[in-house]
Structure 1
Amino acid sequence: MNAADLVHRLGLNETDVLNIYQFGSRVYECKQDYSSSDWDFIIVVNDSLKLPDITQHEETSTGFSHFEEESKYSKDPTGSAIIHYHSESVDATIFREFSFLNAINYFYIPAIESLSLQTIPHIKSKYVWKLTIDYKIPDINLAHNKSLLRRSFSAVSDNSFVKCRKKITLHPEQEYVGRKSLWHSLRILLFGCQVAEHNQIINFQEANALYKDIVVDEIPCDDLVFSSVPPPDNCTSWEQRAVWKWEQYKKKYTVMKNQLKSRFKSLAPIVK
């Protein structure tokens, strides 16, 4: 896949497209095999381009859907300013330019990841597929921006941690999704600390060792925390085993999460 293929698939005119950024696991390079992985993109288009208003029927028939956080980044009464596209292999969020600028100013995580790609030459050449406008991450030395950074990244990290618990304990068939959510919870805090220190993400692979521990290896049986706490003999139902498994993950990673939160808090204090 290349930029021209992507633009054609989305039914866009290349002249309307300003920037195309890839993000997600392919950028983090946390996997060995990407043959079954989605391609994730942020696409910025001209403000003059009117994005379609999506009905529920169109969501299922075209692959386009409403972007759930549009109200946060867009106050446009004339129609959609952000839409999402999903297919079997592609996930793309399409922003009209003014909404993308709002997303940057609110430290929307995929936007901050996208702009960080622009500053690292070997990564930029691989993952920035089109760059017409060189947007900048807001100055993190300003106290107001530190507050916005911390609120944005911390909220998503906390939500991912809760999602992990729910997936593992209530939907054991989605345990893999739960483990990925746990990893994202920690990765986001690591990236947030990088932005607080460097005004950008400088190392997209910082959380990759955790990806192996949490997502690939599942429960590491040779780890003292887990091997010393086997499932109790009366833990026979899937519900009981699911709760037990979550408790083991919580014991191992809550301390790490709290340490990262404390570090992030010191680097990006919230101004009252």
Structure 2
Amino acid sequence: MNKISKAGRQAGYAAMASGALGFALGGFFDGILLHQILQWHHLLSGLPQAAADLRFLILTDGLFHLAMYLVAALGLLWLWRGRAAVLAPAAGRLGLAWGLIGFGSWHITDALLSHWLLGIHRIRMDSDMPLVWDILWLCLFGLAPALLGVWLKRGGRGSGFHAAPLALAVITVAAGAVQAFPPASEGPVVVLFRSGMDETGVMAAIAAVDGSLAGRDPSGTLWAVALPEGGPASSLYAHGALVVSGAGLPAGCLDYTRPDEA
């Protein structure tokens, strides 16, 4: 009886781990694709008061990403505690199933809570038909993965993928790293300078690194800076920059904003 009880606890931890990792992966997927690549929204883009303060938007995006890291860390802890169950015959199918359920659950929660109940953002803030995009995203990345996970959990195919929980852990950790440290892109870097730094100070900072102004957002909060070839973006930190995209520090939230051309 004790062995069965211990095995049951191990299986429970493994299932919770896969669900938590899938949920965190859903959040990272949202951040990487919608914030950094497609650049469709911030976490609080739907609130006029928050949308007027870009620094606050970046702060809340960072807090959201931190929450996803905590969920992923909890999933890794549960995976460690349930490690003995990972090699069980049905571990692959169940791990994949709970991972899909977790991934879909994130998007379902985001749609119901963030898009419709609270209205803090929509999938595409610049669309004339935001509801269409919300429903499309919910169906593709929320309902479809969750239903597929339920089907696998009830005995559908997928039992041959024995390494599913471990693979899910690796993918989630990798996604979290990409979210925190997006690859440096070619062209200007986007810079958030410290509060109270006026245009004269910004231009002096840009000149100090032999850069040139490439653009800025309408509020004058974010600045696009073209650096000389080989010039390190991190050098801007010595001249009043708080966050610099592509400078080896978490700056993915800056990628949402497209500065106007100077």
Quick check: TM above 0.5?
no
Relative to the length of structure 2, the TM-score reads: 0.28
Pick the structure with more helix per residue: 2
Question: Could you say which structure has the larger radius of gyration?
Answer: 2
Pick the structure with more strand per residue: 1
Between 1 and 2, higher relative CO (CA 8 Å, sep ≥ 6) is seen in 2
